[in-house]
Structures are given as C-alpha cells and as structure tokens.
Amino acid sequence: MKLKIGHLYGNLLNTYGDNGNLLMLQYIARQKGLEVETEIVSLNDSFNASDYDLVFFGGGQDYEQLVVSHDIQNKANAIKTYIENDGVLLAICGGFQLLGHYYINSAGERLEGISALDHYTLNQENSRFTGDITIYDEKTGDTYHGFENHNGRTFLGEGAQPLGIVKKGTGNNEKDNTEGARYKNVFCSYFHGPLLVRNQHLAERLIELAIKNKEKKAGE
Ligand code: GLN
C-alpha cells in the first residue's frame, strides 16, 4: 500500500522543526510496511482532494502567512471537501490559524482563513506565548507534550472541540485552558517540537486513520 502525503505550503510554512512531523509520519508508515510519497502543494498549485491520504500544514512567520492567506482562498473549497470527506489532516500553529475564520497578525492586519474549522485568532501586543506545554485529552485519555511559540490567541467557536485541556503552559489563549482543535479527522495544535516526534501515539493514530480511509475507498 502506498500513502501519499500532501504538504500544504511546505516551502513557506516550515518553522521550528515542523518538518519533523513529516519525517515521523514517514517513519511510522514505513514501519507498518507502507510506501510513502510526499508532495508540496504551494502557491498557484491546485489541491486535488482525492490525491492525498494525509495532509500536513505547518506553521510560519507572519509574512509567509500573509502570502499563504491570499493563495489558500483558491484552494479553500478543495481543502474543505477533503476535510468533510474525512480526510486526515494535521495543522500546526500558522496552519491551524488559517484553517479558521481569520488571524489578526502581530501588526494588527487581518489575514483571512478558510473557515474550514470554527475558530478565530487575535493577536497580543509585544508578547508571545512561549514555553513547554502539556495537555490532556479527556475523550481518549491521551497526554501530549510540546513547545509553544505564538503571538496568536485562538478562540474556538461554541461546540468546537479542542485537542486537549491545558495542564501546563498557555495553549490557544490565556482564558479558557483549551489547546488546538479537533474536527472529523483534522487535528490542530500550537505544538512545535515537532508534535509527532514527541507524541508518537498521535503519529500512529494519523497513519491508522489514513489506512482506514484507503481501505474503505478500495472496498467501495
Ligand atoms: N505567526 C503566527 C503567530 O505568531 C504563527 C507562528 C507559528 O506558526 N509558530 O501566532
């Protein structure tokens, strides 16, 4: 079986070792006997939802995010289709922010997201949330460890699910103890470090979900 991973804007949004998440996905997939192909989908490329078994969308600086926020509007429908069809997607920090409604950057400019998930992100003045962070997912009993470094303060819509509840660190914002977001097979987080290298159980889960989707498609 071959797994095709799409790396959204991998040449622009790739800070703080986020690409380590891809290495981890490749490592786990190969351990399970799968072949892996990774493709960057970037500016002016089209995103064909049915081409990918797994999608990774990393974080970045405000300037790159501004460029991406314009281009991604052309891919918004295709990305939403992928998500609504149970596509597996991992988004970190800047990628997480752009899957929501909008992101007010550190200069106060509004960058449009694609509203694939129900959250929005505000900024904070001359400050960042930086440091080690630990969260707990009450539904699965999973604990996640990582490192956060973001100016953005993200607020989830009513009923939107976080990835976990903050045990140590800040998370989405200074107010509600949530971190990241979960929707269908989409996992969002502020964790760098990279997330999957420090939390192998999540890497396993993403690969297993991708395999399940592939088997379902093959049986249709
Ligand atoms: N530029 C965004 C922020 O500061 C995202 C940062 C990141 O992806 N690490 O909130």
pLDDT the model gives residue 85: 96
- What is the arithmetic mean of pLDDT over 35-47? 97
pLDDT of residue 220: 81
Whether 193 has a pLDDT exceeding 90, the answer reads no
102-155: pLDDT as tens digits: 999 999 999 999 999 999 999 999 999 999 999 999 989 999 999 999 999 999
Q: Model-level pTM?
A: 0.97
Active site residue 188: no
Q: Is residue 198 annotated as involved in ligand binding? A: no
Residues 48-99: tens digit of each pLDDT: 999 999 999 999 999 999 999 999 999 999 999 999 999 999 999 999 999 9
Pocket test for ligand 1, best of 68, 150, 172, 173 (most atoms within 8 A of CB): 150
Domain ranges of the chain: 2-219
Nearest-atom index, ligand 1, CA of 92:
8
If you average pLDDT over every residue of the chain, what do you get?
A: 96
Q: What is the pLDDT of residues 199-213, one digit of tens each?
A: 999 999 999 999 999
Q: Is the pLDDT of residue 219 over 90?
A: no
Which among 15, 61, 110 is the best mutation to test ligand 1's pocket, defined by most ligand atoms within 8 Å of the CB? 61
Please identify which residue in the block is written with the tokens 């992928």: 82
- pLDDT of residue 17 exceeding 90, the answer is no
User: What b/e readout covers 171-210, taking b as 16+ CB neighbours within 10 angstroms?
Assistant: bbbeeeebbbbbbebbbbbbbbbbbbebbeebbebbbebb
User: With bands split at pLDDT 50, 70 and 90, how would you rate the model's confidence at 189?
Assistant: very high
ipTM: 0.92
Q: What is the pLDDT of residue 174?
A: 97
Structural contact between residues 8 and 55, judged by C-beta atoms closer than 8 angstroms: yes
Which residue, among 65, 69, 54, has the nearest Cα to 14 in the 3D structure? 65
Which overall architecture, per CATH, does domain 2-219 show?
Answer: 3-Layer(aba) Sandwich (3.40)
Q: Map residue 186 onto helix, strand or coil.
A: strand
The pLDDT score that the predictor gives to residue 16 is 82
Sign, CA dihedral 47-52-57-58, equals: negative
Query: Quick check: 15 pLDDT over 90?
Result: no
Bond before 162 cis per omega within 30 degrees: no
- Over 90: is that where the pLDDT of 25 sits? yes
